[in-house]
Amino acid sequence: MNPPKAGERIHRGEMTRRDFLWLVSAAGSAAAVPALSGCAAHPVTGRQMLVGLSEEQELGLDRQRSPHQISRDFGATRDPGLNRYAAEVGSSLSSRSHRPAVPYSFRVVNANYINAYAFPGGTIAATRGILLEMQSEAEFAALMGHEIGHVNARHSAQSAGQGLLAQIAVAGVAIAAGASERSAAYAPLIQIAGTVGASALLASYSRENEREADGLGMEYMTRAGYSPDGMVGLMGVLVRQSRHKPGMLDTMFSSHPVSSERLASMQADAAGRYAGFRAGGLGRERYMDRTAGLRSLKPAIEEQQKGERLMARKSLGEAEAHFAAALQAAPDDYTGLCLMARCQVAQRRYERARVYAAQARQIYPGEPQAMQLSGVARMALKDYPAAYQEFDAYERALPGDANAAFLKGVSLEAMQNRPAAAREYQRYLRVVQSGSQARHAATRLRDWGYAK
Ligand SMILES: [Zn+2]
């Protein structure tokens, strides 16, 4: 196969849409694969289990990967009261868990889809989308309890023993490659839009893991004084969601049917072994009070959710109308601005994309998504020095995405700076060896005499 000679066409100012999409399609980042090893006692049951990760590796994996997922979710909310609330509820449970010494952290992220997740080192997040669906603090506690349950039962570490790590390492690449084979034109949009945001860590939990996390969540939340009916309420929210807004449910719940079965099992537990805790609080008013700021954004968030569903179906014009309505309701919403910028990129309106990305960047300084979007828009506008600056800022803010090196390489190549471009391509090839981007980088290095 001949790699596209996009770089040359860029020099001649003839970048086609296909070239551009190819250029910006992310190859994903590959995590290093730690060595698999040994057995450990299950921290909850004490039984021996096959563990692929030491605790140190769990922390390392968390530190390495969680910032990428959080950024894909548009960062932690800038509403400090809301993050504080998540931390209060979360730590009231984690301090009563089987592994209280894990360095847990809790936050609400700006994504609109309905999910929560835990990384193995204790980084836990819930999306603003799911917060809007819950009705009480006890439901929120149930959600945090479920996630803390995954960390306590070391589900990631167990899965790692079953080949998860290899999966994580290739996930980014596989997503990019698979997508580009299915639809060359749409692949980059998927990448940039991050709709394939599912982390392999989250997708890999088994049904048994989910049940165990439900059970542990129930245990921790009741220890913290909440009514077990919060868990029943949460399961109800998820069952309803899977019926009405299936597209908004992410892996954790869609890969393991939330199931009337999980709901029934939690109902039985609430009425059975945890019946004595039913006098515990639901904290409805407190929840409404503490999430009031977020709930004031509900109309805007619902418009964004509609827009995202339409984007996924490639109805870009219709999607844009919803994003516009969202921005009318909440002009300074970071997620709303990023989504609108993506929608403009997808429609090849790069100048407008640049403006929305710049606004997003101003509103949430330091959050990498807007930097990447801004870089993409500037690259399409052929302002390569500015594109380079943005990709460089993106990489500094979020190290570990090999794609940044590739995009910097392309920018430098377009600026005729071969030595610097070659350094970036070499850096990229150290992480990614296959795919059209890798072929492009390798071809350039050969043509320029940097490699044989
Ligand atoms: Zn789960």
Our CA angle for 181, 185, 187, nearest 5°, is 60
**Which amino acid is present at 433?**
Q
Q: How many angstroms is it from 257 CA to the middle of ligand 1?
A: 11
Q: How many angstroms is it from 198 CA to the middle of ligand 1?
A: 13
Given 273, 294, 315, the domain boundary residue is 294
Assess if residue 302 is contained within a domain.
Answer: no
Given 294, 321, 341, the domain boundary residue is 294
Q: How many angstroms is it from 450 CA to the middle of ligand 1?
A: 48
Ion ligand 1 — residues with CB under 5 Å?
Answer: 210, 213, 252
- What number is the average pLDDT over the span 301-330? 96
E-state strands within 61-201: 105-109, 116-118, 123-127
DSSP 9-58: HHHTT---HHHHHHHH---------PPP--EEE-TTT--EEE-SS-HHHH
- Please give the span between the terminal C-alpha atoms of the chain, in angstroms, as a whole number: 18
Q: How many angstroms is it from 149 CA to the middle of ligand 1?
A: 8
Res 349: pLDDT: 94
Q: Tell me, yes or no, whether 43 and 26 share the same domain.
A: no
Q: How many angstroms is it from 321 CA to the middle of ligand 1?
A: 34
Assess if residue 322 is contained within a domain.
Answer: no
Q: How many angstroms is it from 11 CA to the middle of ligand 1?
A: 49
E-state strands within 132-224: none
Distance CA 179, CA 210 (A): 28
Res 23: pLDDT: 52
- What number is the average pLDDT over the span 1-19? 43
436's CB contacts (< 8 A; 6+ apart) are: 3, 4, 22, 180
Q: Is it the case that residue 379 has pLDDT exceeding 60?
A: yes
Res 41: pLDDT: 59
Q: How many angstroms is it from 144 CA to the middle of ligand 1?
A: 10
Q: Which of 119, 139, 120, 121 is nearest to 131 (CA)?
A: 139
Q: How many angstroms is it from 154 CA to the middle of ligand 1?
A: 12
Q: Tell me, yes or no, whether 24 and 62 share the same domain.
A: no
Q: Tell me, yes or no, whether 21 and 46 share the same domain.
A: no
Distance CA 251, CA 209 (A): 14
Distance CA 266, CA 419 (A): 61
For 26-42, the pLDDT digits (tens) are: 323 333 323 333 445 56
For 153-194, the pLDDT digits (tens) are: 888 766 554 444 433 433 333 333 333 333 333 233 223 323
Tell me if residue 226 falls in helix, strand or coil. strand
Q: Which of 345, 307, 352, 351 is nearest to 326 (CA)?
A: 307
- Residue 2 is given by DSSP the state P
Distance CA 284, CA 139 (A): 9
Q: How many angstroms is it from 310 CA to the middle of ligand 1?
A: 27
Tokens of 386: 């500015």
Q: How many angstroms is it from 241 CA to the middle of ligand 1?
A: 16
Assess if residue 77 is contained within a domain.
Answer: yes
Q: Tell me, yes or no, whether 83 and 176 share the same domain.
A: yes
Average the pLDDT over each of 18-22, 79-83, 359-363, 442-446 and give the range with the smallest value.
18-22
Assess if residue 304 is contained within a domain.
Answer: no
354's CB contacts (< 8 A; 6+ apart) are: 341, 374, 377, 378, 381
Q: How many angstroms is it from 51 CA to the middle of ligand 1?
A: 18
The Cβ of residue 293 has, within 10 Å, a number of other Cβ atoms equal to: 11
Q: How many angstroms is it from 58 CA to the middle of ligand 1?
A: 17
Q: Which of 125, 128, 115, 113 is nearest to 151 (CA)?
A: 125
The alpha carbon dihedral of 79, 80, 81, 83 has a sign of: positive
Name 105's bridge partners: 123
Q: How many angstroms is it from 117 CA to the middle of ligand 1?
A: 7
Q: How many angstroms is it from 55 CA to the middle of ligand 1?
A: 20
Q: How many angstroms is it from 206 CA to the middle of ligand 1?
A: 9
Mean predicted lDDT score pLDDT of the chain = 80
Q: How many angstroms is it from 275 CA to the middle of ligand 1?
A: 23
Assess if residue 222 is contained within a domain.
Answer: yes
Q: Tell me, yes or no, whether 290 and 386 share the same domain.
A: no
Q: Tell me, yes or no, whether 235 and 344 share the same domain.
A: no
The Cβ of residue 274 has, within 10 Å, a number of other Cβ atoms equal to: 20
Name 440's bridge partners: none
Exposure of 238 in the CB half-sphere (CA atoms within 13 A): 30
- What number is the average pLDDT over the span 304-308? 95
Q: How many angstroms is it from 150 CA to the middle of ligand 1?
A: 7
Name 127's bridge partners: 109
Assign residue 386 the CATH number of its domain.
1.25.40.10
Q: How many angstroms is it from 69 CA to the middle of ligand 1?
A: 16
Given 246, 279, 294, the domain boundary residue is 294
For 206-261, the pLDDT digits (tens) are: 778 888 999 999 999 999 999 999 999 999 888 887 776 555 554 445 444 566 78
The helix or strand, by DSSP H or E, that contains position 213, with its residue range, turns out to be helix 207-223
Distance CA 217, CA 100 (A): 14
Q: Tell me, yes or no, whether 278 and 368 share the same domain.
A: no
Q: Between residues 355 and 280, which one has the greater pLDDT?
A: 355
Q: How many angstroms is it from 127 CA to the middle of ligand 1?
A: 14
Q: How many angstroms is it from 219 CA to the middle of ligand 1?
A: 15
Percent helix, strand and coil across the chain, each to the nearest 5: 65, 5, 30
Contact between residue 397 and residue 426 where contact means Cβ atoms under 8 Å apart: no
- Residue 121 is given by DSSP the state T
Assess if residue 409 is contained within a domain.
Answer: yes
Distance CA 51, CA 154 (A): 8
Contact between residue 224 and residue 93 where contact means Cβ atoms under 8 Å apart: yes
Distance CA 262, CA 269 (A): 11
Q: How many angstroms is it from 225 CA to the middle of ligand 1?
A: 22
**Which amino acid is present at 258?**
V
Res 296: pLDDT: 97
Q: Tell me, yes or no, whether 284 and 170 share the same domain.
A: yes
Q: Tell me, yes or no, whether 24 and 67 share the same domain.
A: no
Assess if residue 312 is contained within a domain.
Answer: no
Q: Tell me, yes or no, whether 246 and 339 share the same domain.
A: no
Q: Looking at the 3D structure of the chain, how many domains does it have? A: 2
Q: How many angstroms is it from 119 CA to the middle of ligand 1?
A: 11
Q: How many angstroms is it from 210 CA to the middle of ligand 1?
A: 5
Assess if residue 315 is contained within a domain.
Answer: no
Q: How many angstroms is it from 37 CA to the middle of ligand 1?
A: 24
pTM, rounded to two decimals: 0.81
Q: How many angstroms is it from 211 CA to the middle of ligand 1?
A: 8
E-state strands within 185-238: none
Distance CA 359, CA 365 (A): 10
Contact between residue 356 and residue 341 where contact means Cβ atoms under 8 Å apart: yes
Contact between residue 308 and residue 339 where contact means Cβ atoms under 8 Å apart: yes
Q: How many angstroms is it from 213 CA to the middle of ligand 1?
A: 6
Q: How many angstroms is it from 180 CA to the middle of ligand 1?
A: 30
Q: Tell me, yes or no, whether 142 and 162 share the same domain.
A: yes
Q: Tell me, yes or no, whether 399 and 282 share the same domain.
A: no
- Domain interval for residue 234: 39-184+198-294
Q: How many angstroms is it from 20 CA to the middle of ligand 1?
A: 38
